[in-house]
Amino acid sequence: MQRRSFLAGTAAAAGLATAGCGNLATSDPNTLTFMFRGGLDERAAYTEAIAEFERQNDVTVNVVVTDGDQYDTKLQAAILGQKTPDVFYFDSGKLKAYAINDVLQDMSPYLESAGTAVDELWPLAVDLYRFDGEVQGQGSAIYGLPKDIGPFSFGYNRTMFEEAGLALPDPELPYSWDEFTEICQELTQDRDGDGALDQWGTGLNVTWNLQALVWSNGGDWSDESVTTVTVDTPEFAEALQFFADLQNVHQVTPSIAESQTMDTYQRWMRGQIGFFPVAPWDLSTYRDLDFEWDLIPYPAGSTGSPATWIGSLGIGVSSASRNPEMATRLAAFLSADPGTQELLVDAGIQIPNIRSTALEWAADDSFMPENKAEMIRIVEDYGRPLPGYNTYNAEWYTEFFTNIQPVLDGDQTAAEYCAWVQPRMQTRLDAANRQEQIDRGEFR
């Protein structure tokens, strides 16, 4: 009797649990799963776009969404768990690993019939997801479509400039580092006269802003073939030192204690910071700022030309998808459908993926920022992908930032740090490259 009720209990439990299956567990070809990440604005916009897709194509799309921090691990677990979503965002840095290990599907055979013209997209954004089995960026096989293209631009608080009686920056001509420092010093003030600073020139984040300084100074994280880590060059160290000096020597950023009270992002939005980065996904939030602001190029180092990075996430299709055609259609719909693009751009979370629409968007003066053309210039002229985008994994690159705090605090010189971290990064880069060879060996 005991055993029977035990068995009954087990059966009941199993029944209950089957009811508790996740969205990723579906076998119906007319049901697609889509996994993505984003904040609340982005979730709302994509939910709307997906609903439209479902209506047009008479399919069901199950959505799995996580916040930014968790996404990579979650996606990885889903792939390892053999529950790869039909359509999903992926970091371009994972492209090679996913293509070589047969996680991603080559979408090119299905693009023709996808009903969305992909060749209207920024060519650069699509090229990021080409892979010929050897080199990323080449070949006819396409393993992803750009979810967005994100020129990481630079902004300034125009209202603050006017109040300080400073000449407005040139929208196209970058400041030199010295000019930038001087202006920042002028902007750094105690406006209410209580003896404590309440306005600062800038307040940058090393992880996202160092690239602009290093590249414009002629440095880089690695050589072109991505086999040697080159952070130990003088140009590189100079750029990092300049970054650290903004806080420690020139004191034009909130001090460590001050940025603990409120981070610089919050301070920028409260009009206390002169220069601050502006990414396309910030546009929705920055709409509500109660001061005028605009875009300019990043201050340029010894090369004299500005530099910055372009972010991009891919939308890929699983090679295990039961309906790759429909999955590709969804990816193309999200990436390139004019209606979807309009919705996403209006939501202020990205700039248009379609080149012609983007040019129109940039020419529209009716809303801030005025100098939207700067974002276009970044995409067309001088923006680059983040380091690590084309290596087998980006551990070597993230290693650079892990122990950087003493430099930022002024306890260690940039040159010392760069010399110390180079071999550590090199080991990891070698490991990534070796891993690629190993996996490729099995691939063939």
The reply to whether 2 sits near other proteins by the rule CB under 8 A is yes
The reply to whether 207 sits near other proteins by the rule CB under 8 A is no
DSSP of 275-339: EEEE-GGGHHHHTT-SS-EEEEPPPB-TT-S--EEEE-EEEEEBTT-S-HHHHHHHHHHHHH-HH
Per-residue binder mask for other proteins (CB under 8 A), 118-157, x = binder: ----------------------------------------
What amino acid is encoded at 210 in this protein? L
Burial class (CB in 10 A: 0-12, 13-18, 19+), 257: exposed
Q: Residue 120 and residue 352: Cα distance in Å, rounded?
A: 11
Burial class (CB in 10 A: 0-12, 13-18, 19+), 337: buried
Distance in Å, CB of 38 to other proteins, minimum: 10
Of 300 and 313, which has the nearer Cβ to other proteins? 313
Site size toward other proteins (CB under 8 A) is 56
- Edge to edge, the sheet with strand 153-157 lists 200-202, 273-278, 153-157, 293-296
Distance in Å, CB of 142 to other proteins, minimum: 20
What residues from 58 to 87 belong to the interface with other proteins (CB under 8 A)?
A: 62, 64-67, 69-70, 72-74, 76-83
The reply to whether 3 sits near other proteins by the rule CB under 8 A is yes
Per-residue binder mask for other proteins (CB under 8 A), 215-254, x = binder: ----------------------------------------
Of 19 and 167, which has the nearer Cβ to other proteins? 19
Q: Residue 71 and residue 82: Cα distance in Å, rounded?
A: 16
Burial class (CB in 10 A: 0-12, 13-18, 19+), 344: buried
Q: 378 near 148, Cβ under 8 Å?
A: no
Distance in Å, CB of 297 to other proteins, minimum: 28
Region of 4-12, 141-149, 227-235, 306-314 interacting with other proteins (CB under 8 A): 4-12
Distance in Å, CB of 283 to other proteins, minimum: 16
What residues from 379 to 408 belong to the interface with other proteins (CB under 8 A)?
A: 393, 395, 402-403, 405
Q: Please, what is the end-to-end C-alpha distance for the chain in angstroms?
A: 58
Say whether the peptide bond before residue 423 is cis (omega within 30 degrees of 0). Answer: no
Q: 69 near 313, Cβ under 8 Å?
A: no
Region of 171-179, 327-335, 347-355, 433-441 interacting with other proteins (CB under 8 A): 433-441
Among candidate residues 268, 242, 240, 241, the one with its CA nearest the CA of residue 254: 268
Region of 296-304, 309-317, 336-344, 432-440 interacting with other proteins (CB under 8 A): 432-440
Distance in Å, CB of 20 to other proteins, minimum: 4
The reply to whether 101 sits near other proteins by the rule CB under 8 A is yes
Angle at the Cα of 214 from the Cα atoms of 213 and 217, rounded to 5 degrees: 85
Of 113 and 261, which has the nearer Cβ to other proteins? 261
What residues from 9 to 48 belong to the interface with other proteins (CB under 8 A)?
A: 9-10, 13-14, 16-18, 20-25, 35, 39-40
The reply to whether 170 sits near other proteins by the rule CB under 8 A is no
Q: Residue 50 and residue 395: Cα distance in Å, rounded?
A: 34
Region of 100-108, 186-194, 240-248, 323-331 interacting with other proteins (CB under 8 A): 100-108
Q: Residue 285 corresponds to which tokens in the numbers above?
A: 């939030």
Handedness of CA 286, 287, 289, 292 (dihedral sign): positive
Of 97 and 358, which has the nearer Cβ to other proteins? 97
CA distance to 154, 210, 216, 260, per residue, from 307 (Å): 10, 10, 5, 29
The reply to whether 410 sits near other proteins by the rule CB under 8 A is no
CA distance to 44, 101, 162, 312, 342, per residue, from 350 (Å): 14, 31, 29, 11, 10
Distance in Å, CB of 315 to other proteins, minimum: 17
How far is Cα of residue 184 from the mean position of the Cα atoms in its chain?
27
Distance in Å, CB of 338 to other proteins, minimum: 30
Of 70 and 185, which has the nearer Cβ to other proteins? 70
What residues from 244 to 303 belong to the interface with other proteins (CB under 8 A)?
A: 260-261
The reply to whether 444 sits near other proteins by the rule CB under 8 A is no
The reply to whether 102 sits near other proteins by the rule CB under 8 A is yes
Q: Which residues bind other proteins (CB under 8 A)?
A: 1-3, 6, 9-10, 13-14, 16-18, 20-25, 35, 39-40, 62, 64-67, 69-70, 72-74, 76-83, 97, 101-103, 260-261, 393, 395, 402-403, 405, 424, 427, 435, 438-439, 442-443
